[in-house]
């Protein structure tokens, strides 16, 4: 039996085991030993990196301190560094303010068409959406069979009463018979004639005709439906866009500022076009539901393809100042104690410094604010770098 001479202490169990039985144990010991060496190597590498990182941090802090100390030594005592800014001289220019509301495009003739004084079932529709029609053209026919039957009966009755009247008149001309008989025969005949005229007019109203020249834009009714003059939904809609207009509802607060003749810019977002026109109508009636009043601007004849209810943004000019001081709104700062102010660049004792100027702003539009007090033409307003300034701070530009 072979003993293990070196791998185990003499007092261990492995030392006294047979060699053939110790081979598996030797393999396990070799594997565990190798693994420990590998882990130790990895741990050693990670430790080196952490140590190197700590060393670099210490060197960085040391260099930063040295840099700050040198800068302090090189800067004279009581020296305040100037701040770099951008300035822009104040000039007077035209300032305009607009009221902006969303409106729509409509034709001067946009007509909802219903039967005239006589409803009935729709028998035939003679036009289609998009058709051009003329004034008086028949659009649809309604059921008028009852009226036509009544007309036939009245015409038969007219023949009878007319014959009676002629006979009575012949006798009356010969001084035969009474005047009452003659007048009654005449009245009966005239009554039937008036009834026939009324029925013929009603039959004529059993057709729906176009009241204007234009285009058929909508046909809500269908064959077999009942068309009525009192229906909230029109039978046809006829639009004439040979003359168009822009309409908008403006808030009551602007009722004293908007009037006929005011300039208005009409922007059509769908067509990416803008037209400059004038207000042609400003209503004196305030809608009690939404507290608005209607304004209109006539549009000139052009090649622009206007459509009913197309979106139009109306910008109505309600204020203009041809010689105003207007600055970008974001230059204006607010202070609880001093109100609104801006910084301007001035020269004092040969040095450029920033001075705070309290201002009185007026109306604002499109990013600009009119300043009515506090600024003069030629002042150099600071337009960049003004956020962190203080009054009297040295500046450079």
Q: Where are the domains of the chain?
A: 14-73, 83-93+323-396, 112-218, 236-321
Whole-number pLDDT of residue 116: 79
State the first-to-last Cα distance of the chain, in angstroms, to the nearest integer. Answer: 100
Cα 81 to chain centroid, rounded? 50
Nearest alpha-carbon partner for 294 in 240, 242, 261, 258: 258
What percent of the chain is modeled with pLDDT above 90? 24
Whole-number pLDDT of residue 72: 59
Average of per-residue pLDDT values in the chain: 81
pLDDT at 5 over 50: no
Model pLDDT for residues 99-151, shown as the tens digit of each residue: 999 999 988 788 889 887 777 888 889 999 888 899 989 998 888 777 778 88
Q: Of 72-86, 194-208, 374-388, which range is least confident? A: 72-86
State how far the Cα of 227 lies from the Cα of 124, in Å rounded to an integer. 12
HEC profile of 245-298:
EEEEEEEHHHCCCCCCCCEEEEEECCCCEEEEEECCEECCCCECCCCEEEEEEE
Whole-number pLDDT of residue 104: 94
The answer to whether residues 93 and 114 touch, using CB atoms and an 8 Å cutoff, is: no
Specify the CATH superfamily of domain 236-321. Answer: Efflux pump adaptor protein, beta barrel domain (2.40.30.170)
Say what the pTM is: 0.55
pLDDT at 16 over 60: no
Confidence of residue 76 (pLDDT cuts 50, 70, 90): low
**Could you tell me what percentage of the chain is helix, strand and coil, using 3-state DSSP and rounding each to the nearest 5?**
30, 40, 30
CATH number of this structure's domain 83-93+323-396: 2.40.420.20
């Amino acid at each position: 039996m072979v003993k293990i001479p070196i791998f185990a202490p003499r007092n261990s169990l492995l030392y006294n085991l047979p060699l053939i039985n110790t081979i598996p144990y030797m393999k396990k010991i070799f594997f565990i030993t190798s693994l420990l060496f590998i882990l130790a190597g990895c741990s050693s590498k990670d430790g080196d990196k952490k140590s190197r990182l700590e060393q670099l941090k210490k060197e960085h802090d040391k260099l930063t301190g040295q840099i700050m100390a040198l800068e302090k030594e090189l800067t004279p005592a009581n020296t305040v560094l100037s701040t770099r800014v951008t300035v822009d001289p104040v000039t007077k220019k035209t300032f305009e303010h607009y009221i902006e509301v969303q409106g729509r495009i409509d034709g001067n003739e946009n007509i909802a068409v219903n039967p005239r004084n006589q409803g009935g079932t729709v028998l035939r529709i003679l036009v289609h959406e998009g058709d051009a029609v003329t004034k008086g053209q028949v659009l649809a026919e309604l059921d008028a069979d009852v009226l036509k039957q009544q007309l036939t009966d009245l015409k038969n009755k007219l023949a009878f009463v007319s014959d009676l009247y002629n006979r009575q008149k012949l006798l009356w001309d010969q001084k035969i018979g009474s005047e009452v008989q003659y007048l009654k025969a005449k009245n009966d005949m005239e009554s039937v004639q008036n009834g026939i005229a009324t029925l013929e007019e009603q039959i004529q109203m059993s057709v729906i005709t176009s009241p204007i020249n234009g285009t058929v834009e909508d046909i809500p009714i269908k064959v077999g439906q009942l068309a009525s003059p009192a229906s909230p939904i029109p039978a046809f809609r006829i639009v004439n866009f040979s003359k168009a207009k822009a309409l908008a509802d403006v808030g009551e607060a602007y009722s004293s500022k908007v009037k006929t003749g005011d300039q208005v810019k009409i922007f059509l977002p769908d067509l990416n076009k803008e037209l400059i026109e004038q207000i042609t109508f400003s209503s004196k009636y305030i809608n009690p539901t939404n507290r608005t009043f209607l304004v209109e601007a006539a549009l000139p004849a052009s090649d622009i393809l206007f459509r009913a209810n197309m979106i139009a943004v109306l910008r109505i000019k309600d204020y203009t100042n041809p010689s105003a001081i207007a600055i970008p709104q974001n230059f204006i700062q607010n202070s609880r104690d001093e109100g609104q102010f801006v910084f301007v660049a001035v020269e004092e004792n040969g040095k450029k410094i920033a001075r705070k100027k309290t201002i009185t702003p007026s109306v604002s539009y499109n990013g600009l604010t009119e300043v009515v007090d506090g600024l003069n033409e030629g002042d150099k307003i600071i337009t960049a770098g003004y956020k962190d300034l203080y009054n009297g701070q040295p500046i450079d530009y």
